[in-house]
Amino acid sequence: MNIALLTIGDELLNGDLADTNTQTIARILTENGLTPREAGTIGDDEALIVTTLQRLAAAHKAVIVTGGLGPTEDDRTAKAAARAFGRPLSLNDQALQQIRNRFRTMRREMHPANEKQAMLPARSHVIPNPNGTAPGFSLQSDKAELFFLPGVPGEMQAMLEESVLPRLLECFPDRPDLCRRSLTVFGLPEPEVEGRLGAALLPDTVAVAFNVDFPMVRIKLQARGDHSQRHIDRAELQIRKALGDHIVAIDEETLAGNTARFLRRAGLTLALAESCTGGLIAKLLTDQAGASAFLERSVVTYANSAKTACLQVPVQLLEQHGAVSAETALAMAKGVRITAGTDIGLAVTGIAGPDGGTPEKPVGTVLIAMSDATGERVAPYHFPGNREQVRQRTACTALDWLRLTAMSRLGSSDRKD
């Protein structure tokens, strides 16, 4: 689509601030079949804003600009827009009224500097700002319609969705149907995922892209035109055949969210005994609202003495096999399950590094154990990577065990919402 994005602000160029506005706008536009053609960032330099606006307006049908609409001296966008298109700045009554109303509803005195925010290029249309003082504005140049929004992400997004998007949908009526889906894969390296998909028969109408969001791989599917939804559904089916249970989440879902959802739905209660993850598994599960329905406790037992005191792991067993051993992991899982009286006890113990490895048990050695009414199991892992990566992988692998356990208790129809 012939749309350009421009974000303005020195803080975006000196490393102080990540430009999330471009990402948010690109995502919202793309979801509506309006992927922009160009995006850029410049500093608070009035002359450069003028020439950039002129260049973008000559080459595109729509230009969306964020930043620099505030009341301070470094907010120069309105002035630059006026210069770029030969329109004098003048006090816009509608904009002034909006700013006054905003201060009234906040029960705050309006600072005279805020009047500057109502100085807009002549013949601009005001874009209401439901979440802040700075009104946005749009103006029509010879070839393009330009939309100016504040930099504050929450204000920008509301104005984009409420005012700019409806206008763009009018300007670009010939949008192809666009359907997108994202599949989150865990437990397979990216080349393996790519290899398996290469052998799967995916419809050639569906574009496939990969990106790594450690420790997950995301498969992004996109199809345009008639029946795009049906083509995406068919591609998902083929990918499920190739990757099976390694697909842990779809679109906005997460591994932890789905694990929590399935545990709740299966009516299973859980107690955790964590060593090398230091509570990370519990953190990821309690990020989910309603975790109290299934999570009874998580005990962080870092020292051997804690494993004995809290989980009844025998001193002799620890001395004989060491803290990072299948025997200890199993004893931790059983111990936490019995003391908590839950359906499932799950334990992790390992060496996250960078120190503490030995030739027999190098850094990255992790044991995960689970105990429930049907029995117990334990598995050794050798995770590559630094301390943070070993801990992340351990936590995600443990969550995946729980997800698969809960899923196996549910019929396939119960797994869906």
Q: Name residues contacting Mg ion, limited to 15-54 (CB under 5 A).
A: none
Torsions phi, psi of 363, nearest 5? -55, 135
C-beta of 25 vs 219, nearer to ligand ATP: 25
Task: Give the one entry of ligand ATP, Mg ion, none that residue 296 binds, where binding means its C-beta sits below a cut-off of 5 to 8 angstroms depending on kind.
Answer: none
The one segment of 65-73, 99-107, 230-238, 240-248 that binds ligand ATP by CB under 6 A: 65-73
Using rule CB under 5 A, residue 150 touches Mg ion:
no
By CB under 6 A, residue 215 contacts ligand ATP: no
User: Pick from 4, 53, 70, 400: which binds ligand ATP (CB under 6 A)?
Assistant: 70
Q: How is residue 319 written in tokens?
A: 């001395």
CB nearer to ligand ATP: pick between 108 and 241: 108
Q: For the chain, what is the HEC assignment?
A: CCEEEEEECHHHCCCCCCCHHHHHHHHHHHHCCCCCCEEEEECCCHHHHHHHHHHHHHHCCEEEEECCCCCCCCCCHHHHHHHHCCCCEEECHHHHHHHHHHHHHCCCCCCHHHHHHHEEECCCEEECCCCCCCCEEEEECCCCEEEEECCCHHHHHHHHHHHHHHHHHHHCCCCCCEEEEEEEEECCCHHHHHHHHHHCCCCCCEEEEEEEECCEEEEEEEEECCCHHHHHHHHHHHHHHHHHHHEEEECCCCHHHHHHHHHHHHCCCEEEEECCCCCHHHHHHHCCCCHHHCEEEEEECCCHHHHHHHHCCCHHHHHHHCCCCHHHHHHHHHHHHHHHCCCEEEEEEECCCCCCCCCCCCCCEEEEEEEECCEEEEEEEECCCCHHHHHHHHHHHHHHHHHHHHHHHCCHHHHCC
Is residue 257 a contact point for ligand ATP (CB under 6 A)?
A: no
Task: Choose the binding region for Mg ion from 71-79, 286-294, 341-349, 385-393 (rule: CB under 5 A).
Answer: 71-79
Interacting partner of 343 out of ligand ATP, Mg ion, none (Cβ under 5 to 8 A depending on kind): none
Instruction: Give the CA count within 13 Å in the CB-facing half-sphere of 58.
Output: 8
CB of 77 to ligand ATP, least distance (A): 7
Candidate ranges 16-24, 91-99, 246-254, 371-379; the one touching ligand ATP (CB under 6 A) = 16-24
Residue 76 is a binding residue for ligand ATP (CB under 6 A): no
* 66 sits near ligand ATP (criterion: CB under 6 A): yes
Single out the residue of 152, 255, 299, 369 in contact with ligand ATP (rule: CB under 6 A): 152
Query: CA 80 to CA 76: how far, in whole Å?
Result: 6
How many beta carbons lie within 10 A of that of residue 281, not counting itself?
28
Binding mask 344-363 for ligand ATP (x = CB under 6 A): --------------------
Q: How many residues bind Mg ion (CB under 5 A)?
A: 2
Contact status: 19 vs ligand ATP (CB under 6 A): yes
Residue 7 binds which entry of Mg ion, ligand ATP, none, CB below 5-8 Å type-dependent = ligand ATP
Phi then psi dihedrals of residue 264, to 5 deg? -60, -50
26, 70, 114, 120 from 92: Cα distances, Å: 30, 15, 13, 6
Residue 9 sits in the site that holds ligand ATP (CB under 6 A)? yes
70 contributes a contact to Mg ion by CB under 5 A: yes
**Nearest-approach distance from CB 403 to ligand ATP, in angstroms:** 34
Stretch that binds ligand ATP, among 4-12, 211-219, 334-342, 393-401 (CB under 6 A): 4-12
Binding mask 112-141 for ligand ATP (x = CB under 6 A): ----------------------x-------
Site membership for ligand ATP, residue 110 (CB under 6 A): no
Which residue lies nearer to Mg ion by CB, 70 or 187? 70
Nearer to ligand ATP, 11 or 233 (CB): 11
75 is a contact residue toward Mg ion (CB under 5 A): yes
Q: Does 275 bind ligand ATP (CB under 6 A)?
A: no
Binding residues (CB under 6 A) for ligand ATP: these are: 7, 9, 12, 17, 19-21, 66-70, 75, 134, 150-153
Footprint on this chain of Mg ion (rule: CB under 5 A): 70, 75
